[in-house]
Structures are given as C-alpha cells and as structure tokens.
Structure 1
Amino acid sequence: MRYDFIIVGAGSSGAVIANRLSESGQFNVLLLEAGGDPLITEDVPYLSGLILNNPMTDWVMPWPRGKSLGGTSNLNHMIYMRGNPKDFDNWATLTGDPQWKYDNVLPYFKKFENYDGHFPSDEYHGKNGPMQVNTQSFEPQMEDWIKSGEELGFKKTDPNARQTSGFFPCDFTLSNGKRWGVYDGFIKPALTRTNLKVYRYARINLDAQNQATGVTYLRHGRLVVVNATKEVILSAGAVGSPHLLMLSGIGPATHLKSVKIEPKVDLPGVGQNLQDHVSCLYGPFILNSTESFIMSRDLKFSSLIEYATLGIGPLSWTYVSGLGLTHSSLGDPDWPDLALTYIPLGIYPTIHKDVAAFFGLKESLVNDYVSDFHDKDANFILVYNGLPKSRGSITLRSSDPFDAPLIDPKYFSDPNDMKVMIDGFKFAVKLYETANTWKKYNASLVKKHFPGCETHPLQSDAYYECYIRHATATMWHPTSSCKMGNENDPMTVVDSNLRVRKVAGLRIADASIMPQITNTNTNAPCIMIAEKMSAIILKTWG
C-alpha cells in the first residue's frame, strides 16, 4: 500500500496534520494510532481524574500518555494556555530562524481557535477555527482568587495575549460543558474523507540512502508495510517519538548498540534534553465558610440532571478555578517562571485516594496528612516551575517495540529548580496570610507536618524542600526530547522546518521538538506546531 503522507500518532499534533493534509483531497493520507475512539467518560470534565491509568486510553507509564484518537488531549485538564511570547522568541534565537518568533506563530494559534473565552480580542484570538475555547460555567471562588491577586498588585490579564505576571480565570477547550479535544476538532470531521485512512502502527522504514520510505505497523495481529511517496511525519509525543526513532535505528549510536539495534543514523540528541513542568500540590488552606467544593456534600443527583440537560454545574468543572503567574527570586516578571493553579477543593473522605492516584503518590502518605480535616472547606494550590533548568532523558529498555522506554526526568538535578518551587510555596503562604480576601474566611495553612518531614520547622526552606521531594509530581507536560535547533548544535534532532537531520522524507511535529518548554500548559503549542508544519508541507508539495 502507498500513501503520499504517513502520520504516526493521532494526538494533539498528528490529528491536526492529518486533517490539514487531507483537506483539499489532493493527497492520500494514512494516520497511524495505537488506540481507538475516545471513551464517553472522557467528555465529562469532572471525571478527568478518573481516566488516567486506564489501559484503554492511556499507555499506563509513570507519565500519562494518551492512547486513542486525540491522544493526550483526551486526558488533560483542558486548560488553554499558549505560553509566553518570550518562549517563542527564544525558539527563534535557538534555531536561528525568525519564523518561530511569537508574532510569526500567532496567526497559527488564531487559525485553530473558535474563541469565546474570558478575553475576547480580534488581535489575539480567532473565531472560526475547529477548536472550541470557552469559559467554564462552574468556577467556585474564582472571584476570590482574582481579588486576592489584585490585593498583591497582580492584574487580571489575558495569559494568551502578551503574557506577563497576573491572576486570571482560565479558558478551556470545552464546548457546552464537555471536553473538546483534537478528536472533536480535527479527526471526527475528517473521518468520512476517502483520502484519509486510520490504522495502528509500529516503526519507520529507511532505505540505504536514509530516505524514510514508509512504516511497518501491526494490524489484526500481523505486520503490514506501507510506503510514503512524499513524507513520513512522526507525531507520537515527547516519549513516543524518540522511542520510535531509536527502535528504527535513529539515535545515539552507542546506546542503540547497547540494546542490540543496528544504528542507521547517529543522532545523539534523540531522547535527550527532556523537560517537564515539575509540580507539587500545596495545602490545604482551611476555610471557615462553605465556599469551596466538597464532593461528598456538594455533588448531588441534581448535579447529574443539570449536566445531562444543560451541560453546566459541578460535572462541567475541571477542578481548576483560576491560575496565577508570577516570578521567583531567579525569574523575570515578564517571563514568569512560577505558575499557581487554584483548586478550591474541600476535604472529603476519599480525597486521599483521588489525590494519590492523580499525582502518583502513596495513599497512606496523603491520608496521614489530610485525615484530621475531613469535611473541612479548603483550598489547594498546585505549584509548578514553568521554566525548569533540569534536563532528563528517554532511552530504550530493549529492542522490543512493546517494552516501555526508560523515562528519567531528572527532576531537581539543577538546584535552581528547587529554589523556584520553594519560592512558589512561600508566595502561596503570603497570599493567604496577607490578602483580606482570605482573611474574611479565616483561611490558614494546616499546622501539620507532611509525613516524613517532622524534623524540619514548618514553613522553613528545609521543610518546603522535604515536602516537595516527598510529593513531587509531573504536570503532564513532557517536551523537548527531539529538539529543534540549528545545524551547528550536535544535539539538534530536527531543523527549523522540522526535518529530521540526516534523514530525507521524515519530519517530527509534536511536543518533542520544542527546544525549551513553554512556561505554561503545552497542548495549545502542540496544536500550533502542527498547524505551522502543515502549512510548511503544503507549501513544499503544492
């Protein structure tokens, strides 16, 4: 079988490319994905914490990875954040190509948006794109969050325009209270196209001249070889793309030999430069008023009726009611390195189970910490480092394509990352201790040590570091493992047009190509990357 283009991975980038390349009907396109359609439960925002680690839709690794049409956009918390203009200007500097500057990628963000969010603006937002970007109908204490930020001098600003420090309500990829991922926006409308096929996948094939000729994939228990007459596009994500490259003999030669794979192209940068937003849930800040959301008290049968008929109410909530961007003692106020996600969630009897499952922590640890506060109204702050300096790696466990790769994020290998997180904890305490908004609720951080940190004085730097190390979690934003760069950097994997070095006919478009992670959520930048590469390919092939 032969296709013009073969796209490997139907996530936030691959779905977009499949749609755009098949749109005109000029090209035959094959989209390869290891999963099926999204589950109905993935539509409901409040259930987003329950769909992680489901083998039907998640690869079930230390990091959640989508395994269905739509990829990880079916698992995320739907927060719509582009990043900071300086993120993209920095990409342009690192690649030596001005096409990646913020002003030059802004049209691609606008292209996919159908924006009806908190900050309407013709200059910064699009109205006719396939991705729905909206507000939430249910946002407990959102106004309290904004007011408390204003008390500390932070303005309510659009984080998706000329982002700077500020407090704001979030926009989400939602429609009528339901998740709106790239499956809804890009794949579903294209499934009836006769020039687009969707199958499962395995590995890339190269000829003697290192031309990507096609892909071998598994279908109904047998291996199938398909050829690409123009290009193969890899969009398997920050874990999947380097994994597949290395299985195909493209990567660090020494490492490939160590797992008995014959190196075809020695690219030392494959799987290196891995970055993620390391996070930690801080709190609870106990309130003396029934303002927060307690599941056992506030989620009722009427909530189900309300959601089923109107798409509103608690089941339409993503757990997030706002976000704040600021800078650490090492950072820049106009390029924030600290994000604080506001979660007004009270303590219900099974919260320890949900928090443990969601953040990959031990149930007993979380239960020991929160069990004294059952049925108390509370707030939590999810603190994360937006501009981490630590760099990790993806390597092969073996030559077996069904063996999960080895993921080593090397969190806090750069000590400055811990300093940033400690500054984030201190800022959260300052916010709740000084803002009158929280004083009216007599808000206070629990005076209890996190288990394992009892030897350190509460609110000391040593205590904060201990807490963070015990409760470290991913923000589910892995990037940069096949980085885009200039030709003089030996660790460059793709050039600024996303072509894999030393391999003809092969490109990568997903989070793995980011030279440096954007300072907020990564789903929107992945869609932008795909829109931009689709335009490059269509221009190349007419």
Structure 2
Amino acid sequence: MDLLKTAFLFGFLAYLFYYLKFSRDLHQATKTINGTYDYIIVGAGSAGAVLASRLSEDPEVTVLLLEAGGDGTENAELYNTPLMAPMLAKSASDWQYESAPHHKSGAFINMNKDKHYYTSGKVLGGSSMYNYMQYVRGSRYDNDEWAANGCSWWGYDDVLPYFLKSEDYLGKEGDFTKYHHKGGPLGVTEETVFPELLKRFIEASKELGYKEVDYNAERHIPTKFGRRSVKLDTFRKCLSQKAVPGISLVVNLLHPKSRGKVTLKSTDPFDYPFIEPNYFEKREDIETLKRGIKLIEALFEIKAMKQIGTDSNRFKNAEFCANHVYRSEDFYECLVNHLSQVHYHQSSTCKMGPVNDKSTVVDPTLKVKGVTGLRVVDASVMPNAISGNTYAPVIMIAEKAADMIRGIDSVKDIRKHLANKSNS
C-alpha cells in the first residue's frame, strides 16, 4: 500500500512539474493565474472537465484545471469527426504509451515485437476524443459488485441518478423515463446511421435467442446501440454530430481474468511508467474469446446477415492457421492468438475500496489513503472493469465526486423521481 501511495504521489508531482515546465508552449484558457486555488484538477479529460465544470458552479470557490495537451483547435477536423479518431494516434494529442514486451508464448503473434501501443488522450477532453461517440453505462451488476466489496454508496441504485444527471436523452422514449433523462449537458440518442444494417443485425440476434433491449436501461444484453452527441455547451470540446459512425462486429472480452500492473520505471519524472498488461495470463480469457468467435460465426450463418454478404467461413483458408484442422479447438485458439487486438479502456490501477483494504489506493470518497487533500477521479478508481466502454461511467464518477467534494446532493429530485417510478 505504501508503494502504491508513493507511486501515485510521484506521478502526480511529475505531471504537475511537466505542466509548469511546458505550459508556456500551450494555449491557456486564462491569462490570469491566482496564487492559490480552492481546487486544483490535474488533467482535463472526461472526468477532469466534468469535475471542474461542476465545482465551478459554486461562485464562492476558485478552480484551476491543468491540461498538458492542447485545446483541440489545431486539426479540428480530426477531433470533430469520430471515425477519424485513429488518425490522432501517435500525434501530439496522444501520450503514446507502450507496454513492456509480452512474453506469453504464442499470444498476440500479430503485434509488433510483442509490445502493445496504448492511445491515451493528451488534449482537452482527454481520451473521449478517441471514443467514437459511444455511450455505454455498463451493467448494473458491475456497480452492485463494487458496493458488495466495500465501496459504500457506489451500487447501481446509488449511481444511476448521476448517470441521469448528465444526460439529455434524444431518443423516442419520452421526456423522462426511469432510465433516461432530459436536460443534461450530454446528448444521448439511439444509433440512426446504417438503419438497414442495424435492422438485420438485430433480426439475426433475435434468431439466436437474444432480445432487443436498451442496454443502458433495465436489461444488459447489448443488441441495441447507444450513441452520445456532444453539444456546444457541454463539458468538453464539441464533436460534430454530422459524423457518420461505423459498425464493427468484434468479440470483445469485457471481464478478463488476467491482471496487469503499472509500476515506476525510474526516478526520472519524465520516464513513462512500466506497463505490464499480462494478457492471456489466465487460460479462461482465451476460452471466452474462442466461444465469442463461434457465436459470431453462428450469427453470420443466419439468413438476415447472409443477405448482406456476411461469410462465416472467412478464415477457412487462413494461412497463419493452416496447420490446424478447420474449426477445431486448436484452430480457434490460433485465431485468438493471431487476430487479437488491444481495445484500450484500461482501468483499476488506483482502485477504490474499504479503508482497511491494503490492496486499494482510494477510499469510497475517492480520497487517497493516508494523504490529506488529494483525491483521484477517473477510470483508475474502478474496483474492476465494467461491462463496456468506460466513457459514460467516468462521467458518472466525476458527477458523484463533485457532490462529495461540495457536500451536496444535486440528484435528490432525480432520486425521488426514481423512487416514484419504482412504486408506480
């Protein structure tokens, strides 16, 4: 625990030093810097921008928001078009992290030198700039597990009001339902692009026994797509709503059993950390991905999908797996090892837990244990990975953190409405 606290403090001070040293070369949102501030927020990413916005609602306090990257005004067309997000990789708006060599024999054969590249936003808005405008809250069971493991006030019923607070739902469910809310700064709507493709995908899923649901609502089986839009008056840099999002059908391992770690590489504050992802450390992860590939093949065999050209035998003649019997267990494992890619969304490196849990860094109020006046508010505090994209949960964490810091309950009316809905 002492090592974790020391590493975090070291990283915090290094980031602050980096900003102070190089901020002259960056665009500054203000020309006047006070000698003191009530709150200093390091990083204007998804969480930092929201936290700064909410804390600044109190006219009696001063807030300083520090961002090492730019404000996104250069190459604005890249930031404003979600499908162009890959072009931001390895740019000045990317921290350009890289993992240590991956030593598991046979795994990630397609990756260059067995290392993994991690895109991480170094710009106003942070990694939300790379997010393709997806809005996925995850499963209620994720949050209930947090609460069951000692993270008081972080169960699903506790956090749902904070998801709703930021949302301006633009779908067809009405102005206000139990699971959607209007009036927040973050526009959320159903996917409207490629309607025929979506229709066929949903039809095929139904044939396999899945129901069409809103996976941000009461059920958590994803056969309907959620999309976020960002308006000019929102927490961070505006994304164009004119962009055309694409749909990729992939097998995504939401709850890996393997665990990585992040440690300091040296005493130099400008050295990047040593990242060891340990992918496929647990055999169960490979088996889960194999089952996922088989499910996709079954989906592609359904008439609704075959009519638009899907091919379940795409890898039948794959040279890299030619020495295995087609569709044998060894063949599927070969596909996993050759085709796996990193989907980012790393979390839980500074996880939240009970005060007496020495494996955790922050308590349920997000205060760093043993340190006065310091909290962590981002995806790193998640006790474990959530079932989906981390963007929406990070916004929720920041909304909830703002209330804890200010000592207010900004969602009491939403909570009351939810209670009335449940009783009706």
Q: Give 1:437's match in structure 2, choosing from 289, 304, 322.
A: 304
1:480-511 per-residue CA deviation (whole Å, 9 max, x = no partner) reads 00010112321110000101111111110100
* 2:244 is the counterpart of 1:317: yes
The yes-or-no answer on 1:163 pairing with 2:237 is no
Q: What residue in structure 2 maps to residue 149 of structure 1?
A: 205
Please state whether the residue corresponding to 2:372 is helix, strand or coil: coil
Match of 2:345 in 1: 477
Q: Name the counterpart of 1:46.
A: 83
Contact 1:135–1:174 (CA<8 Å) still a contact in 2? Answer: no
Q: Give the TM-score normalised by structure 1.
A: 0.61
Q: Is the 8 A contact 2:253 2:289 kept in 1?
A: yes
Q: How does 1:349-360 map to 2 (within 5 A)?
A: none
Please give the alpha-carbon distance, in whole angstroms, between the structure 2 residues aligned to 1:518 and 1:125. 20
User: Among 267, 279, 298, which residue is 1:411 paired with?
Assistant: 279
Alpha carbons of structure 1 residues 184 and 517: separation in structure 2 relative to 1, 3 Å? farther
Tell me, in whole angstroms, the C-alpha distance in 2 between the residues paired with 1:405 and 1:118.
Answer: 46
In the alignment of these two chains, the number of paired residues is: 350
CA gap of 1:540–1:128, structure 2 versus 1, over 3 A, is closer
CA displacement 1:2-37 (0-9 Å, x = unmatched) = 111111111111111100111121111111111111
User: RMSD value over aligned CA atoms?
Assistant: 2.2
CA–CA separation in structure 1 for the residues paired with 2:315 and 2:385 = 35
SS at match of 1:480: coil
CA distance in 1 between counterparts of 2:133 and 2:332 reads 29
1:3 counterpart SS class: coil
* Structure 2 counterpart of 1:86: 141
Which structure 2 residues correspond to residues 376-395 of structure 1 after superposition, within 5 A? 381-395=249-263
Distance 2:324 2:219 in 1: 37
The alignment status of 1:488 with 2:356, answered yes or no, reads yes
Distance in 1 (CA, whole Å) between partners of 2:342 and 2:406 is 36
Question: What is the CA–CA distance in structure 2 between the aligned matches of 1:395 and 1:118, rounded to whole Å?
Answer: 47
Give the AA of the match of 2:310: A
* Contact 1:118–1:171 under 8 Å retained in 2: no
Equivalent residue for 1:185? 234
Letter in 1 for 2:142: D
Task: Letter of the 1:162 partner, please give it.
Answer: E
Offset of residue 461 of structure 1: 1.9
- For 1:67 and 1:77, the matched residues in 2 are separated by 16
Q: Distance in 2 between matches of 1:450 and 1:406?
A: 35
TM-score after normalising by structure 2 = 0.78
Q: What is the aligned counterpart of 1:6 among 40, 56, 62? A: 40
* 1:59 alignment partner in structure 2: 95
| 1:51 Cα deviation after fit | 2.0
- The one-letter code of the counterpart of 1:185 is T
What corresponds to 1:33 in structure 2?
67
Deviation at residue 173 of structure 1 after TM alignment: 1.9
Identify the residue that residue 18 of structure 1 maps to in structure 2: 52
Percent identity of paired positions between Structure 1 and Structure 2: 40
What are the within-5 Å matches in structure 2 for residues 297-308 of structure 1?
none
Contact 1:136 1:317 in 2 (8 A): no
CA offset digits 1:314-338 (Å, max 9, x no partner):
xx22212xxxxxxxxxxxxxxxxxx
Q: Are the counterparts in 1 of residues 124 and 237 from structure 2 also a CA contact under 8 Å?
A: no
Aligned in 2, Cα 1:481/1:437: closer, same or farther, shift over 3 Å?
A: same
More strand by share: 1
Structure 1: distance between partners of 2:46 and 2:268: 26
Cα shift at 1:167: 1.3
Residues 125, 237 of structure 2: 8 Å contact kept: no
Cα 1:400/1:85, change in 2 over 3 Å: same
- Which of 145, 156, 160 is the matching residue for 1:106? 160
Separation in structure 2 between the aligned mates of residue 117 and residue 59 of structure 1, nearest angstrom: 35
Gaps of at least 5 residues in structure 1 are 190-307, 321-342, 344-380
Determine helix, strand or coil for the equivalent of 2:321. coil
- Unpaired stretches in structure 2, ≥5 consecutive residues: 1-34, 98-116, 411-424
